[in-house]
Chain A
Amino acid sequence: DTGVSQNPRHKITKRGQNVTFRCDPISEHNRLYWYRQTLGQGPEFLTYFQNEAQLEKSRLLSDRFSAERPKGSFSTLEIQRTEQGDSAMYLCASSKDSSYGYTFGSGTRLTVV
């Protein structure tokens, strides 16, 4: 069990650029979640995958955001035309089934300048 891996750990980008983050969940976990955490707040749900199917998206996930999980393994979260308000920690979590607590990755901290 190598845990949930997220890359990169930090990303600084200029406003208007596109960024992509990657999450590698624990291998036998079929559930994968993305959360966003801003300073002084708890994480907020963005989207959920069961295997390769994206089953729920939060209203926080504007049309500039897209997430994929090809083949039900790793997942990517892309933000197009970044805005300063996108600056946050993006957390990925995975779970084997609903009776487990999530295992979170260390997150990707995005700074938009």
Chain B
Amino acid sequence: AQSVTQPDIHITVSEGASLELRCNYSYGATPYLFWYVQSPGQGLQLLLKYFSGDTLVQGIKGFEAEFKRSQSSFNLRKPSVHWSDAAEYFCAVAVTSGTYKYIFGTGTRLKVLA
């Protein structure tokens, strides 16, 4: 069965520090992978997506993610975190037959210390 695991429920980093949020997926075919960010009480905003090609993808707000097929991972990174990055981050895999519905992980809540 398809699934997405985000092992870290909470992460705290200092402003200016680097960030890596982990995501592991289970999917039989070539995955379409996404990272979304959600601020409190808001909907989800797309940060970046991977469909094929270059395994390092760039997104908005200075985020990037690397697809590693051998590790079934799609980790999100940012070299220098800003206080405004505090939010919840969701990794998702698309079921690429028919609906393209997404299976989301449970999310990682990021806290940024000033």
Contact = CB atoms under 8 A, between A and B. Distances in A.
Contacts, number: 60
B101 A45 contact: yes
A103 interface: yes
Q: How large is the interface on B (under 10, 10 to 19, 20 to 34, 35 or more residues)?
A: 20 to 34
Name the prevailing secondary structure of the A interface residues.
strand
Interface stretch (A36-44, A62-70, A77-85): A36-44
Contacts of A56: 98-99, 101
Give the interface centre of A4, A98, A101, A107 by most chain B CB atoms within 10 Å. A101
A41 B101 CA distance: 17
A56 B98 CA distance: 9
Contacts of B49: 101
A12 B58 CA distance: 40
A28 to B, nearest CB: 17
Interface in A15-54: 31, 33, 35, 40-45, 48
Interface of B: 4, 34, 36, 41-46, 49, 51, 90, 92, 94, 96, 98-107
